[in-house]
Amino acid sequence: MKQEILKKTQEYSSFTSECLSGMVKIPSMSGEEKEVLEKVSELLDKAGIKNHWTDGLGNVIAKIGNGKKILAVDAHIDTVDTGDVSQWELDPFSGTIKDGYVHGRGTVDQEGGAASMITAARILQEMNYDGDWTIYFTFTIMEEDADGMAWLYLIEKEGIKPDYCVITEPTNLNIYRGHRGRMEMEVYFKGLSAHASAPERGKNTIYNAARFAVQLEELNEKLKTDELLGKGTLAPTVFSSDAPSLCAIPDKANIHIDRRLTWGETKESAVKEISDLLGEDATVEVPLYDKPSYKGTVFKQEKYFPTWKIEENHPLIQSGVTNFKSLFEKDPVVDKWTFSTNAVAVCGRYEIPCLGFGPGNEVMAHAPNEKTPIEHLDKAAAFYALLPFTLEQQ
């Protein structure tokens, strides 16, 4: 079976890379994924996948098999924008295939995983897979804006609650078993306006906010650390103020905080750390994400995305290791992501074990000249196709 899968992934190598190229040619920022998902559906049809549909939020779902247990294999298909196009050697949306790579925005983060999933689904369909697992290949939306929101919708509204989940974000073909969580916080400062010619009559919020920002730098150095996931961090990313005019003392200020949460840190503990630094004229809030999907569906989510990890001896991780060794005849690296993924919902909120394995090197994510090796695409497709059979041997 392994040899058959390896043979098919090589046979379909051009198909896989063309799938990725086709997706990359369609810009697909969060909330603007309609056209690229139409392309995904077209590619699933071309691959002979008979059972696929679009849910109420806008995710595309393909189903293989009818086993009693559920395995989900997930890729988000939205991307970030290009940044400064002058830093790109090729058009970010060219989807150029050359020198053993597919080039362009989204090849690594993370339409490469989606392309490998389409080929894996094709292989399992052609093999008439009828084992212990029902396999959902999910092509999800809006991850770059709100990690895991699509999966909260799949679980809570569509009733798809897997036993295990594979996250196909880039891992450089390593196996990942966790990452830090993240959250956003808004800190609001209230002052008293006065004419700038007599600043002593007012209460300047810039001073209070600036002193608070210095305290944030000090707090960042004191945050917890974890042997696997590393240290928690915080960073103020926006500082703004508002005044009646340019010659008036500002009576409002705002600082936006990006908080990365290591193991043992929670929304409550992070908010308390900030609250303890604030005086009576300042408040902290966790904002709400309520942007409509491309279908117009609003599915609100607090901007808190929990930390997750599973142990290296967990059956899912061990099956992944066995799967890797069987296919590639060497030991995999077992590690963690630096950034956040949809697993914040699947494992972080719902405690469904997740395994990370994807094509491309994560250092290319969100960077100019993004590209993914075709070899990675093929190996990832083989890994996803063989995994249900390996899991059956648990």
Residues labelled as active-site residues: 78, 143
The tokens of 370 are what? 């993004």
**Number of H-type helices and E-type strands within the chain:** 10, 22
d(CA 203, CA 363): 45
Q: Say how many C-beta atoms besides its own lie within 10 A of residue 130's C-beta.
A: 11
- What does R_g of the chain's alpha carbons equal in angstroms? 23
At residue 41, φ and ψ (nearest 5 deg) are: -60, -40
Find all residues with CB under 8 Å of 335, minimum gap 6, and list them.
171, 174, 175, 176, 177
β-strand pairing of 69-76 with 164-167: parallel
SS percent in the chain: helix, strand, coil, step 5: 35, 25, 45
d(CA 94, CA 92): 6
Find all residues with CB under 8 Å of 146, minimum gap 6, and list them.
30, 289, 291, 301, 303, 305
Buried b (16+ CB within 10 A) or exposed e, 175-196: bbbbbbbbbbbebbbebebbeb
Residue 65 CB burial class (10 angstroms; 0-12, 13-18, ≥19)? buried
The tokens of 86 are what? 């002058």
Q: Which of 275, 204, 217, 270 is nearest to 243 (CA)?
A: 204
Cα four-point dihedral sign 137, 142, 148, 154: negative
Q: What is the DSSP letter of 360?
A: S
> Where do runs of H (alpha helix) occur along the chain?
2-11, 13-24, 34-46, 111-126, 149-156, 205-220, 267-275, 315-328, 343-346, 374-391
* Residue 218 vs residues 3, 11, 221, 286, 378: alpha-carbon distances, Å: 56, 56, 6, 21, 46
Q: Say how many C-beta atoms besides its own lie within 10 A of residue 238's C-beta.
A: 10
